[in-house]
């Protein structure tokens, strides 16, 4: 999933993310017509699901240089498929590279989202289930739960620690006058007799223009969405709350290229001493419509929340 470490620390931080992104672009960007994206966040989920029969392929990357630790790049290669209008399933392959250490495959995840209400409502609940089979070297930070902290990024890569985890989320999401507001509540349990851990993610985003232009254009306002999200841990069953937990927040910018992929960027800032000071997230994604029935392929346009 990622190249071997470069001898130069800066290149070890940048090259894996660029390589994964350009490799995905080379495979997926031969100019097919576009479709929409269902989310404008990195950690937070909205109630929008993938269209039935549509396959989305994404490379989700995160980079950081924790104080007292080594710079790293982690990637999650995501395959998301719309099974029904109310059911979306996703499969992840994950890996990371750490400066001065090693490049590792860290495991896989399988998740499912079920929309409980078929029509649009003021608040739209979605149920989420995930099984993860990862190891202790994982740094993708797809969520923060329990007492996750900066200390988790300071040790040497350790593939010996196995984490088989079940995660549940309640996703609440609303669309209003072009805005999407989403709240996620997480409960995660390591199946090796560990206590339940809890977390949250909050997000808000808006398309810059709700009316589409008559002609395709690269920098039109309707191709951009802006927003922000915040996420963090809420302790565990034995010590629920904010003590000894980490929290992050940052803006999110999404850019849907006409007849091409969708790009998403977000600088994340740690909000307390338990958090990494700065993380940078970058995603490139592409959708293939009617993947299992017709070879008709489409690139992406931003989905506009309905009022």
Picking from 195, 193, 187, 147, the residue whose alpha carbon sits closest to that of residue 166 is 187
Which pLDDT does position 217 carry in this prediction? 84
Tell the burial category of 161 from Cβ atoms under 10 Å away from its Cβ (0-12, 13-18, 19+). Answer: exposed
Q: Is the pLDDT of residue 23 over 50?
A: no
Residue listed under structure tokens 């989310």 = 39
Which pLDDT does position 227 carry in this prediction? 97
DSSP 50: P
Its pTM surpasses 0.85: no
Q: Name the pLDDT band for 207 (thresholds 50, 70, 90).
A: very high
90 or 302: which leads in pLDDT: 90
């Amino acid at each position: 999933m990622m190249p071997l470490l470069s001898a130069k620390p800066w290149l070890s931080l940048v090259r894996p993310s660029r390589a994964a992104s350009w490799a995905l672009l080379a495979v997926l960007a031969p100019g097919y017509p576009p479709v929409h994206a269902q989310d404008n966040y990195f950690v937070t989920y909205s109630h929008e699901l993938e269209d039935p029969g549509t396959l989305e392929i994404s490379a989700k990357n995160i980079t950081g240089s924790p104080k007292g630790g080594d710079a790293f790049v982690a990637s999650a290669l995501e395959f998301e498929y719309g099974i029904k209008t109310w059911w979306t399933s996703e499969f992840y392959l994950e890996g990371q590279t750490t400066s001065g250490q090693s490049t590792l495959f860290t495991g896989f995840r399988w998740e499912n989202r079920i929309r409980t209400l078929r029509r649009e409502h003021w608040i739209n609940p979605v149920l989420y289930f995930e099984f993860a089979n990862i190891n202790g070297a994982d740094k993708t930070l797809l969520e923060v739960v329990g007492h996750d902290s900066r200390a988790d990024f300071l040790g040497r890569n350790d593939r010996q620690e196995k984490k088989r985890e079940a995660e549940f989320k309640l996703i609440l999401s609303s669309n209003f006058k072009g805005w999407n507001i989403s709240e996620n509540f997480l409960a995660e349990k390591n199946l090796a007799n560990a206590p339940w851990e809890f977390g949250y993610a909050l997000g808000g985003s808006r398309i810059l223009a709700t009316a589409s232009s008559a002609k395709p254009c690269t920098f039109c306002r309707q191709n951009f969405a802006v927003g922000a999200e915040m996420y963090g841990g809420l302790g565990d069953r034995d010590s629920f709350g904010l003590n000894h937990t980490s929290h992050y927040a940052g803006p999110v910018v999404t850019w849907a290229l006409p007849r091409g992929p969708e790009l998403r960027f977000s600088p994340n800032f740690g909000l307390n001493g338990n958090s990494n000071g700065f993380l940078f997230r970058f995603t490139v994604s592409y959708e293939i419509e009617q993947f299992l029935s017709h070879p008709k392929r489409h690139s992406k346009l931003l989905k506009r929340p309905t009022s």
